[in-house]
Amino acid sequence: MSTYQTNTSGDSSVTPQVSLTGVVERITFHSEESGYTVARLQSPRVRELTTIVGNFANIQAGQTLQLQGTWKEHLQYGQQFQVIKYSETKPATLTGIEKYLGSGLIKGVGPVTAKRIVAHFALDTLEIIEQDSDRLIEVPGIGKKRVKMIQRAWVEQKAIKEVMLFLQTHGVSTTYAVKIFKQYGEKSIAIVTNNPYQLSEDIFGIGFLTADLIARNLGVDPASTFRYRAGIKHVLGEAAEDGHCFLPQPELLTAATTKLTTQEHTSTADAVLEVLRTMGVEQELILETVEDVPLYFQPSFFYTEQNLAISILKLLERPQTVDLPRVRNWIERFTQSHKITLSPEQQQAVEMAATQRVMILTGGPGCGKTFCTRTIVALWKAMGKKIALAAPTGRAAQRLSEMAGIEAKTIHRLLEFDPATRGFKRGVDEPLPHDAIVVDEASMLDLFLAHSLIKAVRTDAHLLIVGDIDQLPSVGPGSVLGDLIKSSRIPVVRLTQVFRQAQSSGIIRAAHQINRGQYPTLETISDAPVSDCLWHSGGFEPEHGVQAICELIRDFVPSLGFDPVTDVQVLCPMTRGIVGTRNLNQVLQQLLNPPALEKPQINRGGDMLRVGDRVIQLKNDYEREVFNGDLGVVGSIDSTEHEVMIQFDNREVIYDYADLNELGLAWSISIHKSQGSEYPVVILPLYMQHYLLLSRNLVYTGLTRAKKLAIVVGSNKAIGLAVRQNQVGKRYTRLPARLGGNTSSTIHQS
């Protein structure tokens, strides 16, 4: 029997503590993040259920608990028992044992299996599972495979409980207990005790702040080198999330000193600098001095950026001999036979694709990038080249394939990810076997993916990089497309002419107006919808915007023939706030996928995940072959196996409960996460609440995600501010300089 200390607030010295014993009848609310729980307890010889409130490391219906705490009178909910400490004992009745086993405690045992086990072993059930579990084979319907599963799960849940108790005691969220156990196994407590900051490096979702809380509770000296190193890495990690490949010393010192200062400890720039010097000597960080300014890189960033430049320069070195008159003759015959006309810019791009090893094709919507790319692919086919088409996301690859008429793959599939090595099979030693490669949506390429791709291109192959330079830069670090153009080392064709058939689209007109810094022409939604680009004022307050979005999805969008569940995507500038993705996801989930008896659901990290929900992958998961930004739908939830099935396009992917923090609701997503995707209908809320992030390329990117209809909801002031704001955040990169171009500047302005 283990005793757990809860974190309920309240002055227990004033109100005397009392004891309470009972069986958990049901869980009203349980936060995986904090452990805060509201549950109903059945106490012996008490007719009514008792409401208990406290922080529980792990709680299941059917558990028998001995509680210590105080009685409190809640103004709305009446009398409640505030739990201060609790311990768990084995259930003593057949009903209690059955409910305990069938509560989801053990993977592989649901209510039906629990009933069979208890019917066979009665009050000896738990002792047999603990001491003689091979006898489970005696139970009808349980085979050897299920017995092994139950045995493993029983041992694991016992170990997990110990880990959860330890972590809960030391301030870590129970959400990550299973992940910690899966990462470290029985060594979990030893590793966390020795260096809790290791968690922030090894486990997705546990950052420096959580590790720091654990360390403080364990009594780790706030001036320890462990802590300072972790804090410095954390600052560089936060910078990478903002797109930076490094930080100059002054910014790093300021940020790290602030991060490492607490109420009990004042950090200094000198102390941080001393640890930085040590980390540099030990190669934990790479120091590069440019214009007398020390720049600090995480090693992987430094070497990846350096090697990316080397790979590009090798491609550019290889000479290319082509009969240009013959190419021009082919273009003339092709355009005549297909009754098409190329603009001078497009003609230049097609010729360049034949004569240059590497080239960039950029331009806004309606300027003919797709048409130009299709012509280049046809030329390469005529030249007898083996062609590969790739894009960063599955949806972008699918569009590229439809456009070119040949198969396109995600870059990850093209490079053949190998789960055994957690790396790509294709690279310098085993390059791609293709003579010509098109990579589309190149604005999404971050530093690491670009390096993996380009180092796998043969030095005698052609590489066509296609992307819209006016879109947001990649979610990941670097600004590869912009850096390549800025270096002036790679030939670039920028398409600027908007073709006649595209000029009728309000979305395309508005996008180009925004790019020019002009307030876009948006038809008021109250008028007859003759445009595909509309505006709804949504009131001046964000609360009114939420209401307007719901009314549009519920009433207006269906009136135009669109399915509000499958066709509409709400794109937000940010996650926080009333019209941010977090709040809108809760609101839209209730509107579009409300709870129902036939829809299983699970509460993870305070968020409800329900069958039918649209979800987004939040990190690259190479083993499951799903990647950051992929959208799917919850297909099923198996409470017995502790698994959730997500439908991604035509593929089913299984997640263990412990890995659900890789997923988020996607009824509303950030504009950044929408890159490379298109949706029939886009609703774009823009309010002054978002003013810190409002920018020209943010709105431009969001608007151009719409295929058939874009609706801007918000204030004129916010739209105007976004259009005027063209000074987006700086990204620290050195790629242009490493390519030999623009060496005077260390900072790339995305």
User: Which of the four pLDDT bands, split at 50, 70 and 90, describes residue 32?
Assistant: low
Sign of CA dihedral 473, 394, 421, 309: negative
SS (H, E, C) 617-669: ECCCECCCCECCCCEEEEEEEECCCCEEEEEECCEEEEEEHHHHHHEEECCEE
Q: What is the pLDDT of residues 342-374, one digit of tens each?
A: 999 999 999 999 999 999 999 999 889 999 999
Distance CA 136, CA 121 (A): 9
Helix (H) or strand (E) holding 3: strand 3-5
Task: Give the pLDDT score at 4.
Answer: 52
684, β-bridge pairs = 712
CB atoms within 10 A of CB 340: 12
Contact 497, 674 (CB under 8 A): no
The strand pairing partners of 437, in sequence order, are 388, 463
In this predicted structure, the answer to whether residue 109 has a pLDDT above a threshold of 90 is no
Answer yes or no: is 369 a known binding residue: yes
Q: 522 φ, ψ to 5°?
A: -125, 125
**What pLDDT, on a 0 to 100 scale, did the predictor assign at position 748?**
46
pLDDT tens-digit map of 642-680: 789 999 988 899 998 878 888 999 999 999 999 888 999
**What are the tokens at 313?**
């320069």
Residue 412, token pair as written in the block: 């990850």
**Spatial separation of the C-alpha atoms in residues 734 and 44, rounded to whole Å:** 70
- What is the predicted pLDDT for the residue at 588? 97
pLDDT tens, residue by residue, 162-211 = 776 777 667 665 556 667 777 887 788 888 888 899 988 888 778 898 88
237 in a known ligand binding site: no
Check if the beta carbon of residue 421 is closer than 8 Å to that of residue 458.
Answer: no
Place of tokens 């399915």: 563
> Binding site annotation covers 366?
yes
Q: Which pLDDT belongs to residue 181?
A: 73
* Contacts of range 11-15, beta carbons closer than 8 Å, 24 or more positions apart: 12/69, 12/70, 12/84, 15/70, 15/71, 15/72
Residue 607: both structure tokens together: 């968020």
Based on the number of CB atoms within 10 Å of its own CB, is 421 exposed (0-12), middle (13-18) or buried (19 or more)? exposed
Is pLDDT at 738 greater than 60 in this prediction? yes
Q: Which contiguous run of DSSP H or E holds residue 146?
A: helix 144-169
Query: 163 vs 187, 604, 659, CA distance in Å?
Result: 10, 19, 17
Q: For residue 605, how many other CB atoms are within 10 A of its CB?
A: 17
Give per-residue pLDDT as tens, 617-631.
988 887 788 888 889
Which is higher by pLDDT, 3 or 77? 77
- By three-state DSSP, how is residue 92 classified? coil
Q: What is d(CA 278, CA 281) in angstroms, rounded to the nearest whole number?
A: 5
Beta bridge partners of 360: 465, 492
Tell me what pLDDT residue 11 has: 45
Task: Report whether 687 contacts 579 (CB < 8 A).
Answer: yes
Please return the burial class of 169, using the count of CB atoms within 10 Å of its CB with bins 0-12, 13-18 and 19+.
Answer: middle
| 601-604 and 747-749 strand pairing | unpaired
- Which residue would you say has higher pLDDT here, 126 or 117? 117
Mean per-residue pLDDT, 404-422 = 88
Question: Is 545 labelled as part of a ligand binding site?
Answer: no
At residue 63, the 3 state secondary structure works out as: coil
Rounded distance, CA 676 to CA 656, Å?
Answer: 28
Query: For the chain, how many residues are written?
Result: 750
- Specify burial of residue 560 (Cβ count, 10 A radius: 0-12, 13-18, 19+): exposed
Which residues are 73's β-sheet partners? 79
Burial zone of 215 (CB within 10 Å; 0-12 exposed, 13-18 middle, 19+ buried)? buried
pLDDT at 551: 94
Q: How much is the pLDDT for 8? A: 47
Q: What is the mean pLDDT of residues 273-282?
A: 90
The fold of the 18-88 domain, in CATH, is OB fold (Dihydrolipoamide Acetyltransferase, E2P) (2.40.50)
Phi and psi torsions of 456, nearest 5°: -90, 0
Architecture, CATH, for domain 307-499: 3-Layer(aba) Sandwich (3.40)
The confidence score (pLDDT) of residue 513 equals 93
Pairing verdict, β 50-55 and 247-248: unpaired
Return the half-sphere exposure (C-beta side, CA atoms, 13 A cut-off) of residue 363: 21
Pairing of strands 293-297, 286-290: antiparallel
Mean pLDDT of 30-56: 82
480-497: b (≥16 Cβ within 10 Å) or e: bbbbbbbbebbbbbebee
pTM score above 0.85: no
**Residue (of 465, 715, 454, 683) closest to 567 by Cα position:** 683
Tell me which CATH homologous superfamily contains domain 518-724.
Answer: P-loop containing nucleotide triphosphate hydrolases (3.40.50.300)
User: Residue 606: its pLDDT value, please?
Assistant: 65
Q: Which residues on adjacent β-strands are paired with residue 67?
A: 20, 86
d(CA 495, CA 360): 11
Average pLDDT, the chain: 87
- The reply to whether 104 sits in an annotated binding site is no
